[in-house]
Amino acid sequence: MSNHFFLALYDQYWRVPGSSLSLAVDTVRRFLRADRGNISKAKKRLEETLKWRIDVQPQTKMCSTCLNEDLRSHYMQHVGWDKRGRALVYSDIGMARDKGHKSNVEHCIQVLELMEPILPPFPNDQYIWVVDFHKFSISDMNPKMAIACLKLFGRSYPERLGQMILVGAPRIFNGFFRAVSPFADPVTVKKVRFIKGPDGKGGGKKFDLVVNEFFDAETKAWLVAEMMENRLRWKDLARRKSWLAALITADGTRHGWWEQNTKRKSKFNSEAEEGFDEDKLAPAVLSEHGHDIRGCPSFIQTEACVRMTNFAIQHSSRGKLTNLLVCKSAKKSTAVPVNTETDRSGGTALQG
């Protein structure tokens, strides 16, 4: 590695609290791995990423669509770890109500940034992405969204994606996948695996075969519970799930009780001032067997989940639809007082 190359970049861009020489070195090594040691290519990619980080400050941003438009806009979150300690990101395409490519990229950045500070050292400094396709439809085949996400991964989060496991993908997805693949890094495309759903539907290898390879019994049980619940109770339960509401109220087992509030956007602010009255809202729908959508029981106790909770609460107090939930959660949240923005500032892009 060229020390001169690294130090020049470090001096130029990375004068923010929380950064360190070792984090910077790890990041440069990761970018060099992505370009197989080609210094000029890695330099270009890293310069673009650092410029973007300085301009956008992605580590301080939360998805504005989830905060202000619908608490169920997106369903993509960090929920656990694989056997090697790599982060497990879970998303369900059909449960995401918002199909806009810019807003989905914004949510994607939020998920990736929240993981950056807590990823383990190389070679496990990656995530494994499980995507459930059970309600995938024509409206989800937006090439702009797929290409924007793939470019984001390639440019600013190289070598972070360990595996992408597509669960229960229907036949109509095959053509779409072939169409967008040329826009992705070939290394990324090789990391994609297709498996059937836990109900045996969709294309690919057997669900148990692949899931047993990557996840322990607890994590597999969470994935099966989540996926089967979304298949068997789509209308009355799955469509009422909100990861954001679950996080800021520290309860991922009860769903939809806040729904009427979000429908009365015009009244929302005045109601917030008067205080929250849960009795006026629709009754909660309970997950099967206490299944918590925030992740495995052991994951909910970890620093990663506490960080996400604090980050969500911090931003939700300013969200049009979420400020009321924050008032309610203040009484019961178990989150510890961590200043997420301060802790995460600067160091995120430079973590290896």
User: Tokens representing 315?
Assistant: 């931003």
Looking at the Cβ atoms of 14 and 127, the one nearer to Zn ion is 127
> Can you say whether the dihedral through the CA atoms of 24, 27, 31, 36 is positive or negative?
positive
Looking at the Cβ atoms of 78 and 107, the one nearer to Zn ion is 107
Does residue 107 bind Zn ion (CB under 5 A)? yes
User: Tokens representing 314?
Assistant: 């911090």
Binding residues among 28-87 for Zn ion as defined by CB under 5 A: 63, 65-66, 73-74
How near is the Cβ of 75 to Zn ion at its closest, in Å? 9
**With CB under 5 A as the contact rule, which of the stretches 101-109, 138-146, 219-227, 276-284 interacts with Zn ion?**
101-109
How near is the Cβ of 331 to Zn ion at its closest, in Å? 25
d(CA 303, CA 300) in angstroms, rounded, equals: 8
How near is the Cβ of 107 to Zn ion at its closest, in Å? 3
Q: Which residue's entry shows tokens 């370009």?
A: 35
Looking at the Cβ atoms of 14 and 258, the one nearer to Zn ion is 258
How near is the Cβ of 153 to Zn ion at its closest, in Å? 17
How near is the Cβ of 31 to Zn ion at its closest, in Å? 27
Does residue 304 bind Zn ion (CB under 5 A)? no
DSSP alpha helices (H): ranges in the chain?
3-13, 21-34, 39-56, 64-68, 101-115, 143-156, 172-180, 186-190, 207-214, 217-232, 243-248, 259-263, 265-274, 297-300, 303-316, 323-332, 340-344
> 3-class SS at 254?
strand
d(CA 132, CA 96) in angstroms, rounded, equals: 11
How near is the Cβ of 78 to Zn ion at its closest, in Å? 14
Looking at the Cβ atoms of 159 and 259, the one nearer to Zn ion is 259
How near is the Cβ of 70 to Zn ion at its closest, in Å? 9
Looking at the Cβ atoms of 24 and 245, the one nearer to Zn ion is 245
d(CA 196, CA 205) in angstroms, rounded, equals: 6
The values of phi and psi at residue 291, to 5°, are -55, 130
Residue nearest Zn ion, Cβ-based: 63
User: At how many degrees (to 10) do helices 143-156 and 39-56 cross?
Assistant: 110
Binding mask 263-282 for Zn ion (x = CB under 5 A): --------------------
Say if residue 186 is preceded by a cis peptide, omega within 30 of 0: no
Looking at the Cβ atoms of 66 and 285, the one nearer to Zn ion is 66
**With CB under 5 A as the contact rule, which of the stretches 105-113, 140-148, 224-232, 310-318 interacts with Zn ion?**
105-113
- The closest alpha carbon to 113, from 61, 164, 161, 65, belongs to 61
Count of residues touching Zn ion (by CB under 5 A): 6
Return residues touching Zn ion (CB under 5 A).
63, 65-66, 73-74, 107
